[in-house]
Amino acid sequence: MKELRNWLLKNIDIKLLSLFLAIILWLYIASGENPIIENFFDVSLATNNLREDLVVKEFPLNISVGIKGPKNVINSISPHQIIGVVDFSDINEAGIYKLKVEVIAPKRTEITRIIPSDVKVDLERVLTQIVEVEYSLIGIPEKEYSLADEPQLDPSKVKITGAQSILEKIKQIICTIDISGIKDDINKKIEVKALDANGDEIKGVKIEPNIVEASISLTRGYLEKILPVKPRIIGKPAPGYYISQILANPNEIRIFGNYSKISNIDSLETIPIDVNGITKTLSVKVSPALEEGLNIVEGETSLIEVTIQVKESIIQKTLKNIPVIPQDLSPFVSCEIEPKVVDVIVEGQNILIESIKEEDIKAFVKFVDDFKVEQKVRVQVELPEGISLIKIEPEEVTVLINK
């Protein structure tokens, strides 16, 4: 044992130096095989402590995170192991905020960069509304059957919850009921959807309940309805003319058809009537435009006499700088008129107004007292036949009598 101790202590300084060098060499070799590296990961961004009555309107879905650590650790990391979080603990109101992004580093690593380190967040209120459920029908029942009444929905109203901007886009809450080929009363459970003005479904809105029960009652035969006739006009009269009145004879027609068709129309259009370029009253006989599944009741006329009356447009025109001349002034008296010109606003039929010129208008003043040196005199005008005066600007001028 003594010999072993002597051996260990012999040249101890050289042995310690050798051990130290061996450890340095081992660390150098180990670091060469598993160096410290940095890598960037695209990770998802989540919210934390967001109030239930607030919702994120604008928010980035991903951020880029730089992480440094041993090569073997970095290479084994999946983006799903890294979570970016924005904390809303201090936010109580809707609005736009700039908040810091927090990221928890995996074990044996450290976060070097977060891009972006803070994000712009737009928060808005979550609203709740109670709305009426509407319905649309697809198809028609079995032949000789029709709906006895409109479908009954239970419940008829639902609660919708969502961000204010989403609720503002909703045009209707609707369920679509397929009645193709049915011949018995039925009850159906139908999903309710939120649609925008284009008929597209809106996501991100909660509907409670989202299923309603639709009750359909049938009857034999078809329903009848008296509809006002609405002539369909295409084109425009000639320039300077306008449609003053449209008359239909008869002005209403009795039709029959399936409830799914007849319940959705409030008037009956005719086939198109072209009035392009007309300058006088037009009378035509046309048939009504009936959808498939609608028919005219026997005994009703199948042709409608439509009369389109047109009139020439009455328009206005301003004629500027019309000279004002004195009238019935004594030959021994001269005068000065201020202002010397006026603007005249006239109206009349389009064809007359378009052709009128400044020289066709005569503006003048008459004197009551030729001896009053300065006087205000009302301007008068002479107009071509068919033209009416609207206004003279100015209506009065100042006349200075020179004797």
Give residue-wise pLDDT tens across range 297-321: 888 888 999 999 998 888 899 999 9
For residue 30, pLDDT over 70 is answered with no
Residue 278 covered by a domain = yes
pLDDT tens digit sequence for 190-247: 999 999 999 999 988 999 999 999 999 888 877 788 999 999 999 999 888 889 999 9
Residues 359 and 378 in one domain: yes
- Compute the distance between CA of residue 34 and CA of residue 38 in angstroms, rounded to an integer: 12
Residues 397 and 323 in one domain: yes
CA 348 to chain centre: 41
Residues paired with 400 in a beta bridge? 336, 374
Whether residue 22 lies inside any domain: the answer is no
Assess whether 242 and 209 both reside in one domain: no
Q: Residues 43, 75: one domain?
A: yes
Establish if 17 belongs to a structural domain: no
Note whether residue 102 is domain-resident.
yes
Q: Is residue 148 part of a domain?
A: yes
Residues 192 and 109 in one domain: no
In a domain, 13, yes or no: no
Q: Are strands 172-178 and 341-349 parallel, antiparallel or unpaired?
A: unpaired
- Asked if residue 89 is part of any domain, the answer here is yes
10 pLDDT tier (thresholds 50, 70, 90): low
- 150-173 pLDDT, tens per residue? 899 999 999 999 998 899 999 999
**CA 322, CA 344: separation in Å to the nearest integer?**
7
In whole angstroms, give the CA distance from residue 61 to residue 49.
17
Please give the tally of structural domains in the chain: 4
- Tell whether 376 is covered by a domain: yes
CA 385/CA 1 separation, integer angstroms: 145
Give φ, ψ of 276 to 5 degrees. -60, 120
- Domain end call among 312, 334, 351: 312
Q: Select from 288, 312, 336 the last residue of a domain.
A: 312
Collect all residues with Cβ–Cβ distance below 8 Å to 129 and sequence separation of at least 6.
Answer: 159, 160, 161, 167
Q: Are residues 195 and 209 in the same domain?
A: yes
The pTM of the full predicted model, rounded to 2 decimals, is: 0.49
Can you name the residues that pair with 146 across neighbouring β-strands? Answer: 219
Greatest CA separation found in the chain? 160
> Is 177 found in the same domain as 108?
no
Q: Are residues 130 and 205 in the same domain?
A: yes
**215 shares its domain with 136:** yes
Return left, alpha or beta for 105; rule: phi > 0 is left, psi -120 to 50 is alpha, else beta.
beta
DSSP of 194-241, one letter per residue? EE-TTSPBPPS-EEESSEEEEEE-EEES-EEEEEEEE--EES-PSTTE
Same domain for 147 and 63: no
Burial (CB count <10 Å: 0-12, 13-18, 19+), residue 111: middle
Exposure of 286 in the CB half-sphere (CA atoms within 13 A): 24
Return the exposure string of 211-229: e unless at least 16 CB atoms fall within 10 Å of the residue's CB, then b.
ebebebebeeebbebebeb
CATH of the domain at 367: 2.170.120.30
Query: Strands (DSSP E) along 50-208, which ranges?
Result: 54-58, 62-70, 84-87, 95-103, 110-115, 118-138, 145-147, 152-154, 157-163, 172-178, 186-191, 193-195, 206-208
* Same-domain check for residues 254 and 244: yes
| Confidence at 76, pLDDT banded by 50, 70, 90 | confident
Domain that holds residue 338: 314-402
Query: Domain end: 194, 220, 246, which one?
Result: 220
User: What CATH number is associated with residue 249?
Assistant: 2.170.120.40
215 and 260 in a common domain: no
Sheet holding 341-349, edge to edge: 380-382, 362-366, 314-327, 341-349, 388-393
Mean model confidence pLDDT for the chain: 86
